Every structure is written in C-alpha cells, then in structure tokens.
Structure 1
C-alpha cells in the first residue's frame, strides 16, 4: 500500500503540472487572439484630425455632418492653409468646398485607411451637392511602392531586430562579465541593421522617400530601444525578464503600433498605449522621416530615447549588483 501511495504521489504532481501547462498555454493563445483580433475589429477613424475650407455655410454643414467620435474637424481660411496643414501633419487630410466642386486633400503615406475614408466622405458630400469631386494626394507613397507594402513590412525587422540580438547576445556573453559586451553588441547591431534595412527599403525596393541618413538613424533608434530594454530585463531578471519583454512587444506593441494604418485608426486608449511602446513609436518615427521630412518626429524620438535610457538603467543596476556579488567576502576570524 505504501509503495502504491508513493507511486501515486509523483503521478498526481505530474498531472497537476501538466494541467497548469496546458491551461497556461491555452490562455496565452487566447491572449494572442484578443491582442490581434480586437484592434482589427474595432479599427476605424477615431478622432481622426481633418480640415475643411470653403464658404461658411458649406463648411458648417460639413463640420456638422462629420461631428462625432470618428472625426476631429478644423476649419481653415483657404485651400493654401488646408494644404499646408496636411503637409505639416496638423491634420490627416481635408476637404475644400467650392461652388460645383469638392476637393479632397489626402496624405496616403500618413495613413492609407484615413486617406480612403476622407476620399469616401468627400465623394458622399459631392453627391449630396451634385458637384464634381477631385482627390489630390499631397503625401503619397513612392512610385515604386504606391501601396506602401515595403513600409508596412518594416515592422518585422524592427521588432525582431530588437528581439533576436538580445537573446543571442545573452546566450553568447553570459553573466556579469559579459554585460558590457552584450550592451556594446546590441548598440552596434542596431546601428548596422538600421542602416542596412533602410538601404534595402529605400534603394532596393524604393519604398521609402526621405533623407537616408536621418531615416537610418531613426530606424536604428527604434531597434536600439527594443534591444537595450530586452537586454536590461534579461540582465536583471534573467530569461524570465526577456520573456516578459517579448510578450509585451508581441502581444501589445505589435498590434497596437498602428504601423501600417497610423494611430488614428485605433481607439483612443489603445492608440495612445501603442505609441508609448517601442514598435508604435518606431513606426511613427519612420513615417515622419521617410515621407514628411521629419515633421512630427519629436514625440517618437523622446519615447524611444526613454526606452533606451530605461534599458540602460536596468543594465546599470544589474552591473552594480554583479560587481557587489563578485567582491570576495573577508575571511572569518572567529
């Protein structure tokens, strides 16, 4: 009887462990589904900044028609002011009204879905007024990549450009003695990879159209924000820390980044969170540098720099903790 009880004990423990693992993995899968499905289901214009100009009666009617959670309408004095606002990223696009004519000014590179929604709104207004409609794209994607496929694909090199070097460097240069080598390797990789990825997208596929040096530095900063944060978490907590960081990046940072659509295509709270995480900030910085001559890049730069500082702070704490542990204790004289 005792032998049977001893055998049943470990078996029961193993069964419980297996149950916990199965339930935990299922929970992770459901969490992944929620993270990717919910933003897609709830996507659409949310407080999308748009401009309108024209006769006061017409602009008032359009502003009333677009009033709600979807649009944030600003009235401009003339078409020149509206076009400048679009190019300066004050608004995502705008509608100019004139007798017998409706013109939609869009910026597809700022967000293709927003440009399409604005074009549809202008077409509907023109139909109501029995006017001609014209769509002018002030900031399109490049001629070689008019749909922006190359730009949208940059999200994976940025994310995995932070994750892969962090885990590889952590395995190759272990312990306190390898901490500074991990940091040096991570920063060096971010610089090299940032310039290489930008060169491929700008000169290989023609997907980007901006100052190469500025765009490359922005790409490198995005990767550096990820790799330093992950290295810092791993140095301080171990692989559990790396796993935690990777989960946040993949389950929150990636789907909430608004990389392809722009942040205004997500609900307000989700969009704000996404822009505070490295993938979202990196996407906004790449968009600003590649298509808008750096306009609107300041917030993204500060966000990514903050993540770099956070990662460095974690590594500094880990370095000092490791240094204290390495100091030999004085021999007991008792």
Structure 2
C-alpha cells in the first residue's frame, strides 16, 4: 500500500501539448497521425491520457498541504444528519457547535493513540506504526485524500465510542522500512467529533463527521484581546509558581510544570506552527495566548491532558479553566509545603 500520493512534477509531465496544439500538429502531419497505433493504442488517445495525467500531477502539486487541504473542502451534510445529532451516544450539544459557515462539518480519518503519544497543538510527535495497522491505514488515507491531515483521539481503555473531541494533526514526515512506518505528526488544531459512533469502513479507516474548533469565537471577541493577554499572563505566573512548588514538595501527580517555563514551551509551539493558520485567529496578538493555553495542557499528567483533549473548547474558556485548576494546585501544594516544613 502506498504511503503517500504519487510524487508531483514527473519529468516532462507538465509539458504535455494542449489538445488544440496537438490537433493542429496532427493535421499538418496528415489525418492518419492521430490514429497511428502505439502499443495498440491510438496516438490521439495517448496524447489525451498524457494530458490528463499532467493536469492531475499539476493539481496535486498545487493542492494545499495539510490542514488547508481539508479546510478547502465543502460542507458535508449526510442524509442521516438528524439521526447523528439525535444519537445519545454522540452527545452533541448544539449550543457548543461553531457556526458552520465559519467551520463546516467534514469527514476525516481518525485514529486512537495512548494519551502520551497524542501530539498537542504545537507539538511534534515521532511514532512507529506497523504496516496494515489501523493507524497506518488512516495515515495512508489522509495522505491520499486530505493532504496528510487526520484526527488523533485519545485511546480511552474500554471505551466503545470516540471521545467528543480530538487533535487535528498533519503528517510532516513519513518513511517505511520493512513492515514499519515511521511518521512525524504535528498537532495544528482541535476537532469536535460529531459522529462518535462512526465505525471503520471496508478500507479499515473510520471517517467520522468533524468540526474544527474555533479558537476565537464571540466569547473572545466580546472579551477583547486585552483580556486574552491578561489570562495568558496570569496562567504563565501560576504555571511557574506551581512548578517551583512541585520542586520543593516533590509532588508531581499533576504532571511536571518545573521542567520548562510556559514562555519557553509557548515559544517552541510558536516555532512549530510558524506557517500554520490557527482556526478563527486573525490577529497576531491572539496567537500567543492561544498557543500558551495549548502548551500548558501539554505539561499536565494523563488525566488532565485527556480532559482537555477529549472535550475541546475555545481559547478563553480553556485559559480560564487552566487558571482555575492551577489556582487550586497552588493552594494544595502550598499546604503540602507548609506541612513538610512544619
């Protein structure tokens, strides 16, 4: 099975003659020229085939890579949309859905991975998949149909259905050696899974209906950029203080917030996503708070990370939720530190 679409720009492919030029040249050579057999096929048919292949290669070459290829697709409304929305296992909350004119529903390949191998938005993750595994099949499908963009959901033990959300990732590198496929995935956005009960098709790939979660919604616009920046600054301060308390108490149950500052983690995310358009973000001042919130999530332990990755929402709600959690963590660790010192 191919691991990537055929390479664009094969030598000479884009220099195929246009139909009108080919016909004119044939007329000069005589009417029989277009019908001269070549390995059993008329020359006119061969010219048309070459032209079609050239157009296909050019389209692949010019197609937007990664998430932009998926974003360019039109809205998908399945015939059973009402059934999907009413299905109690899908647990769709209509009030939480983003405007479909701004973030349309589209199907997308999805895989399940253990929590610590799921790349957060702004992170790179290097993984190995066996050829023929559900993960490899989904990667292959994404490369062929969606520019290498797919969803990665947290694999919750004993869960029958997909979680309410997952991370949208781009395949930035892929190689194959024997029966193993090496991939590098980059988290670029959060996705809301509309059809959580979707099962794999005959190709072995599950293609649930999804919606990209907008980072900036009416909530953020009404609050203003200053409020976003304020929440991000408060989060950075709490993150650093809790990390210091972790060092002093030796308690790392919630993850390791002491290994790097939130500013350092956010800067790494900024570099990883330098050329990526964040959903709903249209101002540079909005990017840092958005990336800071995702970087903070990546530092937490399994349970807290899963909470955010499996039930995604916009940036200000995420910042406030993180702040509240870190304020609680600060109080608990401060009490533990005083008990240790007393």
What TM-score do you get using the length of structure 2 for normalisation? 0.29
What TM-score do you get using the length of structure 1 for normalisation? 0.29
Higher percent of residues as helix? 1
